[in-house]
Amino acid sequence: MASPIVQAIKQIAEEKHLNYETVLETVESALAAAYRKDFGNKLQNIKIEFDPETGGMRAFDEKTVATEELYDEYLKKVEERAKLAEQGEDLSAKKETEDMREEREEYQKEGEEEKPRFSPKLNMPLSEAKKIKKGADVGEVISIELEIPASFGRVAAQTAKQVIMQKLREAERDVIYSEFKTKEHQIITATVQRFEGRVILFDLGGRVTGVMRPEDQVPGETYQPGARLKVYIVSVGVSPKGPEILVSRSHPELLKALFATEIPEIASGAVTIKAIAREPGARSKIAVYTAEQNVDPVGSCIGQRGVRIQTVINELGGEKIDIIEYDEDPLKFIANALAPAKILEINLDKERNVAVVKVASDQLSLVIGRGGQNVRLAAYLTGWKINIMEKKVTGEEEKKTEEIVQEETVVAEEAEKPKEEKTEEADRVNP
């Protein structure tokens, strides 16, 4: 049966979603801090080996072997500082840190690596190392076992407790960061937790909190605490308080991820989303493309009776979505993007990246859209600046249009005649 210490370590590891070895290393770090507090000194690099089965421990002072040249440079600096101290110079730790920073910056300017330093806490000269171990070499780690004269005092125990808490928090933050870094630019289901001013906090599961800034919220969308919503993970960074996970409901990539989830053709790569233009909460346009002849990119996204696209619309709270077929020809692409308006003529100024679109007067309001929304989204989608112009139809064009309409009417009437004749014959046969 495992010892109580082992059971306690396993329980902490399970609660914090950490490895057993990570928690054990944390305990050893805490014991090293406690030893340093009661029995060590500032020139010792204390390492502890702890056996959780028996509760026993061993203490070591670990030193890395350095060259004699580095050791000599260190001794020279000690002598120089002693002389300056006699002359009344400021030798505070702050000044020493500034000098080290200036020296490091000088090396960086010259394009060289920072010069290695001898530290009496971390290093020992080669000559001293050979006294302990005959075959010692530069870069080797020498462990000098230390005595544990007595039990730890109250202050040391308190120090150990603080170190354990801090190390566990750091380890937990590292695990969360690593986990969600792999989920960056994906969608997950989150629960609205609470509001902090205009910022909304989401529960991402496992006591992990996501932050939604005001610019990542959808205008007019309500966020009730406890509501479950799909959110897009914009970025995963590091802050002084731990991992900072930014989520969004307004990001265009949320739309792309939702389509990839709901539409198998997009998930498999048969249909590709070429561009997205979105005004969150109002309307979006998506340009889709496929290289396969037997696949309808627009129909695949809409689904039978609009089932597929309706699922995405419901997730976005009723936001309107236009599916546009992408075309390499900018004339066709712009015309598709301005749907459902009918376009008469498009002139492109490739140098200025401007498209002049001409429409009939009855299509003018349709092509522009409410508040200019349709043409604005089309411009974002295609990457062209679009200017709308009304094209007046001349009398000759009106006459030609009337003739075409009359011809189509005649053809339609002729097509109906055989049906009427067949009906009369059937009536005579079956009175």
Q: List the domains of the chain with CATH numbers.
A: 65-145 (no CATH), 185-248 (2.40.50.140), 252-326 (3.30.300.20)
In sequence order, the β-bridge partners of residue 143 are 62
Collapse the DSSP code of 86 into the 3-class scheme (helix H, G, I; strand E, B; otherwise coil) and give the result. helix
The residues, any chain, with a CB within 8 Å of residue 254's CB and separated by 6 or more, are 187, 230, 231, 232, 248
In sequence order, the β-bridge partners of residue 238 are 243
Check if the beta carbon of residue 382 is closer than 8 Å to that of residue 390.
no
The residues, any chain, with a CB within 8 Å of residue 144's CB and separated by 6 or more, are 60, 61, 62, 63, 132
Instruction: Tell me the per-residue pLDDT of 92-148, one tens digit each, with 9 for 90 and over.
Output: 555 555 555 655 555 555 555 557 888 999 999 999 999 998 888 999 999 999 988
Neighbours of 308 (CB within 10 A): 20
* H helix or E strand, kind and range, residue 64: strand 56-66
Residues of the chain scoring pLDDT < 50: 397-431
- The per-residue pLDDT for 431 is 38
- The per-residue pLDDT for 79 is 87
Residue that the structure tokens 């989608």 belong to: 381
The counts of H helices and E strands in the chain are 14, 15
Task: Find the DSSP H helices in 63-124.
Answer: 68-86, 93-109
Cα dist. 163→12, 31, 52, 147, 153 in Å?
15, 9, 18, 22, 15
Neighbours of 104 (CB within 10 A): 12
Long-range interactions of 351-356: CB distance < 8 A, separation 24+: 352/385, 353/383, 353/384, 353/385, 354/384, 354/385, 354/386, 354/387, 355/330, 355/382, 355/384, 355/385, 355/386, 355/387, 356/387, 356/389
Question: Distance (Å, rounded) from C-alpha 5 to C-alpha 168?
Answer: 16
In sequence order, the β-bridge partners of residue 187 are 232
- The per-residue pLDDT for 159 is 85
How many CA atoms, within 13 angstroms, populate the side-chain half-sphere of residue 110? Answer: 10
Check if the beta carbon of residue 384 is closer than 8 Å to that of residue 287.
no
Q: What is the token pair recorded at 185?
A: 């630019």
Question: Distance (Å, rounded) from C-alpha 47 to C-alpha 69?
Answer: 27
- The per-residue pLDDT for 274 is 94
